[in-house]
Structure 1
Amino acid sequence: MPDSSPNHPLAVEARSRRRNEFLAFLVLAFGIWPLVAVGALGGYGFLVWMFQIVFGPPGPPAH
Structure 2
Amino acid sequence: MHRHPEGDPVEEDRAGRRRELGAFLFLTVVLFPVLAVLIVSGYGFAVWVTQMIFGPPGV
Query: Is TM (by shorter chain) over 0.5?
Result: yes
Gaps of 5+ in 2: none
Q: Secondary structure at the match of 2:57?
A: coil
Instruction: State the distance in 1 between where 2:8 and 2:32 align.
Output: 34
Identity of aligned residues (%): 44
TM-score normalised over the length of structure 2: 0.83
Q: Which residue of 1 aligns with 2:54?
A: 55
1:48 alignment partner AA: V
Q: Which residue of 2 aligns with 1:10?
A: 9
Instruction: State the distance in 1 between where 2:25 and 2:57 align.
Output: 41
TM-score normalised over the length of structure 1: 0.79
Instruction: State the distance in 2 between where 1:18 and 1:32 align.
Output: 20
2:48 alignment partner AA: W
Give a deviation string over 1:11-51, Cα, whole Å, max 9, x none.
11001100110011000111011101100110000000000
- Calculate the aligned-residue CA RMSD, in Å: 1.6
Q: Which residue of 2 aligns with 1:5?
A: none
1:50 alignment partner AA: V
Q: Which of the two has higher C-alpha Rg?
A: 1
